[in-house]
Amino acid sequence: MQQKKLIIFIDSGDTLVDEGTECRKEGSEVVESAALIPGAKQALISLKEKGFVLELVADGLVRSFDNVYRQNGLEDIFAERTISEAVGAQKPAPEMFRTAMEKLGLGEADKNRIIMVGNNLKRDIVGANRFGITSVLMAWSPRYCMVPENEEQTPDYIIREPLQLVELAERLESEHKQPMPNIIIEPYREQYWQGICAIHDAARKTELACACLEDAFLPLEIAAKREGLFDYAHIDIALFDHRAAGFCAYSDEELAWLYVLPQFMRNGIGSALVSHALETEPALSYVEVLFGNEPARGLYESFGFQTKEVISGVMPGNEAFHVRVYAMYRKS
């Protein structure tokens, strides 16, 4: 497997390891054992198999990490480990990141291909942002605040579970963020009408179920006219193995529609549509996500969108129903 260009620095506690399961002997600070977050082991193995270089960059005691990763069969998963006890400093100190780079033989010119993944806004995210590398927040932990207090604490990307890191890493690896080889994005043509109707009607039911609004469903035959689908400057179709599998509609500022056939989800189709939309309209900076639709929210967060507020109102095109939406913005 050819080594990827992207370098992944990653934290441990509540990023890979569930801190709530840590066991210590009485009177000792050394962690003797701990369980991994669901999906963490699979994500690490997958990333390594795909050729990504992984380095543990974590605050704590060397023996603690030796114990935990040996216990979980991952003692050889990291190319290097940079631990605060050995460095003599803790994140967000630049010494942690500088040491991590030196261990891999990296220099200043390599910063643009390093990401730091962690759960702590004040340590991992502030440290990465100050150091000039890409910051990724693992927003899994129930023990830490996940709302940035200032610009310095704002991550470049947010993921909510370890397996989302695999998709994000693969996307960032591609310099031009091209869609996957078997996904083709092309402009809507009339011949795709029945295809997008099938996509919308299946995916919309899934979306509404996330918000307990199943009764609000309207087929695209009705919704397209009521919600002005064809008023948008761009409508793109995603072809997956030559079949219409997803579509999106957007203006120069807002991504308004995006649906993927449920059976084709988790194949990178949504990411390919968002990536193409942002390439077409670089100033695109706003999207609304139905409250409760966490998979969609996670997708947009991986492209740098941040939830600024929750808006309540009536459902466009079906005003008998009241809804809440996440209002998400990104810097263009």
**What CATH class has 183-329?**
alpha beta
Let me know how many helices (H) and strands (E) the chain has, helices first: 10, 15
In 153-232, beta strands by DSSP E: 157-159, 183-187
pLDDT digits (tens, 9 = 90+) for 238-280: 999 889 999 999 999 999 999 999 998 867 789 889 989 999 9
Asked if pLDDT for residue 302 goes beyond 80, the answer is no
Asked if pLDDT for residue 61 goes beyond 60, the answer is yes
In the chain, beta strands by DSSP E: 7-10, 23-24, 31-33, 53-58, 80-83, 114-118, 134-138, 157-159, 183-187, 234-240, 243-250, 254-260, 286-290, 306-315, 318-329
- Smallest CA-to-CA distance from 273 within 312, 247, 304 is with 247
Strand order in the sheet with 318-329: 183-187, 234-240, 243-250, 254-260, 286-290, 318-329, 306-315
- CATH number of this structure's domain 7-173, picked from the four choices 3.40.50.1000, 3.90.1150.10, 3.40.50.720, 3.40.50.10860: 3.40.50.1000
Q: Which residue has the tokens 């994140």?
A: 91
Domain segments of the chain: what residues? 7-173, 183-329
Helix, strand or coil, per DSSP, at residue 138: strand
The predicted structure's pLDDT at residue 259: 98
Give the percent of the chain with pLDDT over 70. Answer: 97
CB 315 within 8 A of CB 325: no
pLDDT digits (tens, 9 = 90+) for 212-240: 999 999 999 999 999 999 999 999 999 99
Largest CA distance in the chain: 71
The predicted structure's pLDDT at residue 1: 57
Asked if pLDDT for residue 39 goes beyond 90, the answer is yes
* pLDDT band of 204, cuts 50, 70, 90: very high
The predicted structure's pLDDT at residue 320: 94
In 84-205, beta strands by DSSP E: 114-118, 134-138, 157-159, 183-187
Q: Which range is most confident: 124-133, 137-146, 216-225, 297-306? A: 216-225
Asked if pLDDT for residue 88 goes beyond 80, the answer is yes
For residues 92 and 294, the model is more confident at: 92
Residue 311 β-bridge partners: 325
Measured distance CA(151)–CA(135) in Å, rounded: 12
pLDDT digits (tens, 9 = 90+) for 99-125: 999 999 998 778 888 999 999 999 999
Q: Residue 45: which residues within 8 A CB-CB, separation 6 or more?
A: 77
* pLDDT band of 306, cuts 50, 70, 90: confident
Give the tokens for residue 21: 């399961």
Measured distance CA(199)–CA(194) in Å, rounded: 9
